[in-house]
Structure 1
């Protein structure tokens, strides 16, 4: 798929917006160009910052701050490319600041929801439980070595936990569990070098050192995995994820996301690179996924393999974006519940609407609700409870 390069002039305007030096006229010029380019496929060069993800996050933060000064967020109508255009989602769409639209026209005259005591977005926080039952609150623990065992050492660096295998040392395998509360997230590097991003209200149980046969971990909630290829005694060691004691996902070296919250509709495994096999435990039923596919398992329908997805939507959370496609109001509100650690209730009939779009996970709750409010979804908010009105 070919993409048109963004003209240098508009990259410079985006950079000035990011740095806070863009004039109102320059912002308007960028807005006008962006809206006129919606039918074209555009690419963002990776020279803008150390990574496209970093560039996108910085732009969203900067534009979110502009919105937070009191101006109503703009509603941008977007064309969503497929998995091959993930780089566009990682850069260009972020330039729009906030993007969300429904199948009905937004109400630009609606006043934003009043949030008397705002709720800040989630942060890096987690609890680590060691094999002997000792617990460590990672968000209040300084970076450095946390624990050392037989054959391994655990280090913390910012919002990441790193396990290092000590070669030549006597090995005694124990199991650790990392738990992410509502309003939290954390990253983890396992002893084999595999990386895991854990979302809010999730947990992962894993050995401190993997055995020679395979690598097995247990997931609840949601996690994005980048599995390292691993060879032992000349053979590849498969990486297996036991999901809620219900599914077994087996891989060798690949990137994928698993969402398995108890209050969501089934278990979703989305593959970005490589291949994975998804087994329904106890049934003998399995499916093999190709990149860009998603398996959805529900008790009523069994396995469904979807290819009509944008795989980046499933992993955008790890890059600081709340992203959704054709999502109904309850689905969006469940996301807000987990990330902002609030409760959602419905007064009367649940609005029957669907939305496609997203916004930065770094925004306070009032700004996130403002986007929905502008699309005719109304709320009351008090005591960390969102009441969705009919």
Structure 2
């Protein structure tokens, strides 16, 4: 199976399945001398792990990370960093009846057709369980970006269903993101979102929404023209996350409603630096960071596994009705927040190293 590696200089390769012994990754390209401890990685995994609240899946996984190589006395050595997260709460029997059918909204059919077989339990490799490995790797990238380049990445839930924040990304109170289970920095709206998610779960259904992300401190010059544009790599990273269905940067699709005279961000000098008056461009021009905050949004579909009766077919092509079983999030948005941050960190760390290499040349 191809497609399990990501990045150029800061590169990761992930492995593992939802109901296998565990998931993990190999991180290559992290420079030597970076202070790093298990807690740096564990705190990010704790934000993503299941069973955090009544609005997430009740699968109980501690997501305890083991660092097998690449660290010596709390400092990176420059060699590959191997990370392992063991699975401890698999209930594979929940998926027994699913082996004979194709679940709506899942990868059952496409995996079966491509590979001639599929891992029924939890979706195997197609499960969001595999994002634990990406978050672990992303934690290292976040530490590198903060310590070596002064870059901070924060994401939050912007919308759930029709409930949507309207506060511009640059004005969001970052300190409020972790103040509630939804991870929406608008406290009043977060309560409404939580109530909606709880009611939707009782209805046996699910919800989608949007995660917004901002990267502050990104300097001018990260990103490569044409095929390695910064926003193109961010888009690939975000659309590689399970259940993601859309990506937009800066003004995104809303920018199509403006004229050029309204959308162009005028340049100016502020505090002795070149900046732009607005940030409709989302911090990227011509595929290269402009020095303004990098702002983007990721759309996530409603969780595919629901308790409502649905129509599908079995593996012999017979029409049947099916009701989802197992432990699943009624809305993936709250747990998607650290995943979005991790994937953004992997992209930015990679481009940071590429820009540094260019300066050395």
Is the shorter-chain TM-score for this pair beyond 0.5, marking a shared fold? Answer: no
TM-score normalised according to structure 1 size: 0.21
Q: Report which of the two has the higher share of strand.
A: 1
Q: Report which of the two has the higher share of helix.
A: 2
Relative contact order (C-alpha < 8 Å, sep 6+): which is higher?
2
TM-score normalised according to structure 2 size: 0.22
